Each structure stands twice: as C-alpha cells, then as structure tokens.
Structure 1
Amino acid sequence: MTDPSTKKRARQADSDDPLDNNNSASTSTSSHVDDNHSDGATVRKKPRNRDVDKQRSEIEMLMQRIDTPIDLDISAKPIIKPPREFELNVRGSSSGAGSTDFHYYQQLRRKENLRIQLIEAEAAEDTAKEQYKDDLDILKRKDNEKTAKNRAKRQKRKKNKDKRSDAK
C-alpha cells in the first residue's frame, strides 16, 4: 500500500506530469490542499445561496434594460380595509360558544383594534403636520415683521445721511 504523500512527491519530481500544473515554487501551498483530498474523497461544495442568485439575476435583468424607468410601488403606510357593513355571525367569548368561536372573536377584535390604532395614528400625524404649518407661518410672519422693521431703520438712516450730506 502506498502512502498518498509519496504519490504526491513522485508527481512533484516528474515536472512533465499533466496532473500537476503548479510550478515548484507553489507546490508547498498546493500540496497541503491536495493532500487532504488525495485519498479519493469527494470534495463537498457549499450549497448555493438561492436568494443571492435570485437577487443577482434580477439586478442583471434591470441592468439590461437600463433605459426604461422602474416603477417602485412601495407604500410605507399599511392598507386599512374598511369595516364590514354588517357582521352576520357575531360571536363572543360568552359561555356556550364553541371552542373555535373564541379564537375567531379574538381575531376580529385584534383586527378592529389595529384598524382603530392606524386611524388614530393618521389623525395624530395630520394634526402634527397642521401644527407644524401653523408654527412655520407664525415664524415667517415674525421674521417678515422684523425684516420690515430693520428695512425701515436702514431707509431712515440713509435718508438722514442724505439730508446731512445735502446740508453741507
């Protein structure tokens, strides 16, 4: 039985060996890698990352059509479904209800509470925007008043300066 390292050394000695494409300077690094797999064991490849491949292919498709505009339909706000007009099978957590009725009741309640929270958050955001606009208008008005007052002072000084230069 021959040792795998002796096979490798014999191959390194024969420089015309087609299996060894490395020169003698790089044999020290490649021999370490090749010795691990010289016993006929298969080399396992890493599994391909399908998400990265998918993203790469999408980017390549976009880069091929670089002249066409891209429609990004990304909405930051969640969609609020309107409430039902009339709920037929109103269920509750009272006694006598079935075992699945309570979970259905909880789900409806959770959805309604979420919808109400989103509506309140929208209303609070609208009032905050209105308050900001009002505050901005007040600041602009104060700034314009101060600017007008300073303009009047400059014009008065200029007028007085012109009077004094005319009097001399």
Structure 2
Amino acid sequence: MSDTKRRDAEDEEAGETKGLKKHHFTPLELQKKQLDKLLEKIDKPVLIPERSNQTRAPKEPRDYVKNVQGSSAGAGSGEFHVYRAMRRREYARLKNMELESKEEREQREHEEKIKAMRAADEEKTEKNRNKRQRRKQRARNNSLSKKKDSSRSSEGNEDEESEGEHSQDDRKDNKRSKRESDDEDK
C-alpha cells in the first residue's frame, strides 16, 4: 500500500476526512492552533503586549446638549435610549470623581502613616543613642575614678589596713551608684 493511501486510511480511522474544513473552533482548539503556529517558528520573537493598569477616564461633559427633549406630551421611542446613555455617562463621571478622591485620601493617609512611623523610629533611635552615651560616660568615669584611687594609694602613706577598708567602701559606693543609675535608665 502506498504512503498516501495509508495516511488516508489512518485519517478515516481517526474520524477526520481530508477535504472537510472546520470553521467553528472551540476555545481549546483555537488556543491549540495558535500555539502550533507559534511553535512552527520558534526562533521568531513573540510580542506580548502589556496590559495597562489605568482605566480610561470618561469623556468630559459637553458644554452643549444635542438632544434637547421637547415639551410635547409624548416622547419618541428613541428618547429613552438617549436619556439612558446620558445617565450612564453621568454616573461614570461621578464614579470616576469618587475613585480619584478616594485614591488621593488613601495616598495622604499612607504618607502621614509613614511620617509617623519615621518620627517614632527617630525618637527610639535618639533614646537608645542617649542611653549608650550615658553608659559610655559612666564607664569612663568609673575607669577614671579607679585610676585616681590607684594613684592616691600609691602616693599616700596610709596603713595597708585602712586602704583596704577604703577600697571596699569605694567599691560598694560604685556598685550602689551603678544600680541607681540603671534604675533611672529603666
């Protein structure tokens, strides 16, 4: 059997006839067809447009009204549609104005919130900085007092016993003052 006859037989088995063209595609078939077309030329770059996030603002209201309704008792059959279109445009315009004011208000609130957070952070940072400075100053004062005590003890002619008593008293005073300053920091 030749190749063409074999292909025709396979197509008939699959339920497809070669001469019949299908015009009404399902969404799945359309998508498959588009993908197959794209994959035929795989080296060609594909342009995918980006979707804009902004909605189109409705047109500005006109200065003049074309469709002025008369004062006759009966209105024509088309007047309702004209009225409905005008009403829809007006509602769209009002909705757009409300959205803009809402976005502006939210933006202001967001900026105020960020300002408040930054101020709180700065305040906390300043407080911690002062606390560190006090600790450093206290450490310097303690080291200076220790140096003075050691220089006094080496210079003085006092008894060793009295020096021991003074140094113990100084240590107790230093510990007590340190505890008090820690309590003040808290």
TM-score by length of structure 2 reads 0.56
Does residue 106 of the first structure (1) align with residue 84 of the second (2)?
A: yes
Q: CA deviation at 1:120?
A: 0.9
Deviation digits for residues 99-146 of structure 1, max 9, x if unmatched?
110111011101210121012111111111111111110111111011
Query: Which residue identity is paired with 2:16?
Result: R
Deviates most, 75-84 or 110-119 = 75-84
User: Which residue of the partner structure matches residue 65 of structure 1?
Assistant: 45
* Distance 1:159-1:87 versus aligned 2 partners, 3 A rule: same
User: Which residue of the partner structure matches residue 143 of structure 2?
Assistant: 165
Matches of 2:76 and 2:119 in 1, distance apart?
65
**Cα-Cα RMSD:** 3.7
Q: Which of 70, 73, 76 is 2:54 aligned to?
A: 76
Q: Which of 84, 94, 112 is 1:116 aligned to?
A: 94
Q: Which of 59, 64, 67 is 1:86 aligned to?
A: 64
Question: Moved runs in structure 1, 4+ residues, more than 6 A?
Answer: 59-62
Matches of 2:96 and 2:108 in 1, distance apart?
18
Matches of 1:156 and 1:163 in 2, distance apart?
10
Q: CA deviation at 1:79?
A: 3.1
Does residue 54 of the first structure (1) align with residue 34 of the second (2)?
A: yes
Contact 1:91–1:102 under 8 Å retained in 2: no
Does residue 138 of the first structure (1) align with residue 104 of the second (2)?
A: no
* Distance 1:43-1:58 versus aligned 2 partners, 3 A rule: closer
Percent of residue pairs identical: 28
* Distance 1:61-1:142 versus aligned 2 partners, 3 A rule: farther
Listed as ranges, the gaps of 5+ residues in structure 2 are: 4-8, 147-186
Query: Which residue identity is paired with 1:81?
Result: K
SS at match of 1:115: helix
Contact 1:80–1:115 under 8 Å retained in 2: yes
More helix, by proportion:
2
Aligned residues: 131
SS at match of 1:99: coil
- Greater RCO between the two (CA within 8 Å, min separation 6)? 2
Does residue 43 of the first structure (1) align with residue 21 of the second (2)?
A: no
Contact 2:58–2:93 under 8 Å retained in 1: yes
Listed as ranges, the gaps of 5+ residues in structure 1 are: 1-16, 20-33
Larger of the two Rg values belongs to structure? 2
Deviates most, 123-132 or 77-86 = 77-86
SS at match of 2:78: helix
